[in-house]
Amino acid sequence: MKILVLHTPKGGSGKSTLAREIAVAASLAGRSAALADLDPQGTTSGWYKRRKAEAPALVRYTPGASLDPLRAAGVDWLVVDTPPATPAFLPGLLALADAVLVPVRPTPDDLLAAAPIARSLAKHSAWAFVLSQVPPRSRLTDGAARQLAALGRVAPAQMTFRADFPAAAIAGQAAMEFTGKAAEEAAALYAYAVQLMGESDATSQG
Ligand SMILES: Nc1ncnc2c1ncn2[C@@H]1O[C@H](COP(=O)(O)OP(=O)(O)OP(=O)(O)O)[C@@H](O)[C@H]1O
Ligand SMILES: [Mg+2]
pLDDT digits (tens, 9 = 90+) for 82-107: 999 999 999 999 999 999 999 999 99
Measured from CB, residues less than 6 Å from any atom of ligand 1 are 11-17, 39, 41, 43, 84, 132-133, 159, 161-162, 165-166, 169
Question: Hey, what CATH class is 2-205 in?
Answer: alpha beta
| Residue 68, burial from CB neighbour count under 10 angstroms (0-12, 13-18, 19+) | exposed
Ligand at shortest distance from the CA of 102: 1
Least confident of 18-22, 35-39, 101-105, 197-201: 197-201
| Residue 195, burial from CB neighbour count under 10 angstroms (0-12, 13-18, 19+) | middle
Ligand at shortest distance from the CA of 7: 1
Please say if the pLDDT value at position 205 is more than 50.
Answer: no
Cβ atoms of residues 4 and 76 within 8 Å: no
| Residue 96, burial from CB neighbour count under 10 angstroms (0-12, 13-18, 19+) | middle
Q: Specify the DSSP element, H or E, that contains 164.
A: helix 164-169
DSSP letters, 65-101, are S-SHHHHHTT--EEEEE--SS--TTHHHHHHH-SEEE
| Ligand 2 (single-atom ion) residues, CB below 5 Å | 15-16, 43
Cβ atoms of residues 158 and 130 within 8 Å: yes
CA of 206 to the centre of ligand 2 (A): 33
Domain boundaries of the chain, sorted by first residue: 2-205
Ligand at shortest distance from the CA of 43: 2
Ligand 1 atom 3: the closest Cα is on which residue?
161
Residues 6+ apart with CB under 8 A from 63: 38, 89, 92, 93
Tell me how far apart the alpha carbons of residues 35 and 164 are, in angstroms, rounded to a whole number: 21
CA of 63 to the centre of ligand 1 (A): 23
Question: Quick one: which atom of ligand 1 is closest to the CA of 12?
Answer: 23
Question: Quick one: which atom of ligand 1 is closest to the CA of 11?
Answer: 25
Residues 137-168 pLDDT 10s: 888 899 999 999 999 999 999 999 999 999 99
CA of 81 to the centre of ligand 2 (A): 7
- Dihedral sign for Cα 85, 87, 91, 97, please: negative
Residues 16-34 pLDDT 10s: 999 999 999 999 999 999 9
- Dihedral sign for Cα 138, 172, 127, 182, please: negative
